[in-house]
Structure 1
Amino acid sequence: MNVVSQRVGSSRLPLRAAAFVVLTCVAILSISGWREWAARDPVLKGAETEMANVARSLTQHAEDSLDLLDSGVVGVVSRLEMDGTDLATITKLRSLLEVRKKAIERIHSLAIIDEHGNWLTSPGTIASTLSDDAFFRYHQLSPKREAHIGHTVKSLLDGEWVVTLSRRFNKPDGSFGGVVLAAISSKYLSHFYEQFEIGRNSSVTLMHGDGFIIARNPSNEQFVGRNVGDTPLFRDPSLQPPSGTSHFKSPLDGVERVSFFKRSGRYPFVLLATVDKDELLAPWRAAATSRLLYVLALVMLIAVIGAVLVRQLQRGQHMAAALVEKEAHFRLLAEGSSDMVTRIGLDERLRYVSPSSNRVVGWRANQLIGTPALAGVHPEDLPQVQAIIDAMKRGEKDEARVTYRNVHRQKSEVWLESTMRVTRKDNGSADGVVAISRDITEQKKLETRLETLAIEDSLTGLANRRRFDERLNEEWARAYRDRSSLGLLMIDVDHFKSYNDEYGHPAGDACLRVVAKIIAAEVQRVGDLAARYGGEEFAMLLPNTDAAGCGRIGERIRSAVRDAGLVHASNPVASVTVSVGGAACRPALERTAGTGSLVEVADRALYAAKDAGRDRLMMSGEVMNLLLKASGQ
């Protein structure tokens, strides 16, 4: 009887377990459903509280922004009513408005308009014409002196939507004198609202008191300027208090929303902060769904747990056999490869090194196993290699390729290119890195030589024209940032064609090399650059050098070439000479100019030196003085 009872009990055990699981799941589902439904109201209340805080903060920001505009407008109105609108006053105010606009990011534009609608400030101060001038008609017809907030209008100068704040100013006799206008960009307000995102599909909308949208985040450009004055927020009597909550279907995107609205007590606008109701309640729904899925998972777990364990055991056996075979193949390939194959553990020590290590780094495999994998990496390249290894250990990268210098046992150092790949355990976690490294020292030497040829003049050894143009752009940008000066000398060998004709091209090449050597001797600082500009013409770039310093260096070069005593019978002085043209400027003070302007001015000075008889230095300032004297005569 006991055996039969045990067998019967064993056969009934799955049913009992299933019944227990079902009862448990029903209980969990019931309790979870009740708790989630009870948690629904606090979720909505919490969202309303959060949106109320956002709405109050953004309403205060909008009021502060308008107050900031109004304070500036009031000051300009007072100045106009005291000093009038004569040219001197307007000129001072125009500068003041421009400075204020640049100093305060939220101010889009500031302007003054006379009683006839003429803009007294320049078009650059504001979008000189707006798509609507209702504010002007309002002040023209109304004697009220308080600030007037207009609807959003589109600036025809830059296409931005703006909301205007304006005040009337009077003439001394009290009649209408014109309007002082300020504007805030709708885009600025929209970008500011991005900081207060309540949810992924939340929105913040600032509206005029009659329903015109001033700014919205998101989709500001799509909705700004639209009139929503026929919605319940503006029509329903129950929604007309200074602030409150509202659940509604948005007329803009058709989404069911939970919102909080706040009406400004000082200006005619309403701020509405909303969140997608479905999105807000999504965690609540997800929690209830997860409970149900959890219950179903428990039921399925009891039914399949045995099969899963057997499958996992079989899978483990198959994977163990596969790993043995894979390890054999790996060793066969690694030991037959001319590249060095290494395996690096998570402790960054070498676990395996292929025999080719003796050829690549000069050390035998048994000498390297167990040593730090990065011990031989050049100190300057070590941070780069270490960062890649760390990223692989963290799982951020599975593969990487890196080039670096490494110590060689016989040589000083070699360049290596390593391709690395993460290896993983059965559970997917990283257990090391396999690296395949090859010697690319000769390739690096060739690349260095090619880079040198690309920027060096083969005849003189100076920088070539391409390198000169690159450095001129770099030094111009640096001088612009540092507000420093930049000097340039243009040097030309006098009567060089006749020199070639008389002595031959080999002698001409030798002459150019001598001149280049003299010019190169004046390169005293890291930033200085001597270049062959073309043919017999040279250039010398002198960062942080003014016209006086530039002239001194140019004169030394001219004198040194003449003193070199290279015979040139066709030259009036019977020796090789050069003409030098120089120029210096401060890029920060010449915003409309570019690098070409400096070359052009120096080149013009060079030609002036030639015209004046050659074998001389002319600076651009001297050329300008000569031109002014000639024009005065």
Structure 2
Amino acid sequence: MIASRIPDIQGRTRLPEWLLLLGSCLTVIAIVSIVTFLLIREHANARQEATRSATTIAQLIDADVLRTVELYDLTLLGLIAASQRDDLKQMSPQVRHLVLFDRSTTARFKGDILLLDKHGEVLADSSLIQPKPGNFADRDYFLAHLSSRDSGMFISRPFKARCDCEDHDQWRISFSRRITSPTGEFLGVAVASMRLAYFDELFNSLNIGNDSTLNIINNDGLLLAQKPYLLSDSIGKSFANRPNVERILREGSGSFSSVSSIDQQNRLYTFSRVGNLPLTVIVALSGREVFATWQRTALVVSGATGVLCIGLLWLAWLLSRELRLRHNAERELAQLAATDALTGTANRRMLDQVLRHEWFRAQRSGKPLSVLMIDADHFKAFNDRHGHACGDEALRAVAKVISSHVRRPADLVARYGGEEFSVILAETDSAGAQQIAEHIRAGVERLPSVAGADSPITVSIGISTWTTASDMSLERLLFAADKALYQAKEGGRNRVVAD
């Protein structure tokens, strides 16, 4: 009962301890949040930097491919223009061959350059003055020009040459244009093939790391070139049904991160169309290489942050423990300072504080306040006859009985002085106070004789109650209780008297 009173009166709470822990947790959360934000930003910067680098590489490839394709297109346009000259048939085969293919020498990695008639038969071959017989009516480019009046350039699917030449097993693609009469009639096809080794040389001049790849696909999702090759037979193979390729063909240009369906690696894909050609360049950077530096930095920073946060929380816990120990020690000291050492009840100082507190509370609430003054009967003679040790034991026994009948947290049992005790009963009227006092008197009377004593001990009790109807001060309330106690003693002791 005394301990429960101490925090209210002394103002001792554990608020600083909780504030320390809360502040430490909020600091840790702030540190983790800031570090996480910085790491996320650095991750985004690493991605952005890799995207810029990949975009630059894609632009270099685009520019080179556009120049090369332009050379092939000029070769085709020159071939078509020369084939439509009226005086061509009167020229010798050598001169005719020179006129037809005078622009073809500038094309890089060129293969066969052919002039086909409307049936797909070879009319002229850049490699031979007298062309070998051959029919290419089944080629995709011939069928495309045959069925369409579009005179634009067509890029074929990858294929291997039919000849027995040294590089017949090398992959090629062809660039072709439709030859049309002035009336729009289909006259044939001019076609120039290019060895895909051109892309190998172009890719080899670019450094993209060990696990990254460069790719060129057409609008049908066919792979034309790749560095390095992830599959041995991937050239000419369609990847149009792969999710990443579907997205690339759909969007045309851009950048995104995804997992490769071939080697299951996380990659950063940057892609763009090659001008207005049906070709797309794909730079697929390895996620491990792109974020390798960031991952090392993130590991070091996260580890250091973790150690810092754990250390901060540990120090906060140590400080909170010290505060708790200090609070407990202060609480124990406060309790000792408010407790009577002999009986364990509140002392006079505590009594004065609580009584004043309850008095003002009763004044505010208007509820009654009762005070009991209890005195051990004939205690001086008892003490002289049986000794101080026996007297002390008797006082402890009386204090125990009183405390057992005063159980509410708001009430207080205190040693007033010597053999006298005082009880504060908050929100208790005179009738209630008399009932409690009677229980205390009877409880003390039933106490067995203290060892060495020849008679039991009894108590006299005086009661004083303040109500809103009464006109008395705090001092008057105490005086009335003391007066009632005096009357109880004058009336024969071992009794209860209410003022």
Specify the TM-score bucket, using the shorter chain as the normaliser. 0.3 to 0.5
Give the TM-score normalised by structure 2. Answer: 0.47
Q: Which has the larger radius of gyration?
A: 2
Give the TM-score normalised by structure 1. Answer: 0.38
Instruction: Give the structure, 1 or 2, with the largest relative contact order (CA under 8 Å, sep 6 or more).
Output: 2
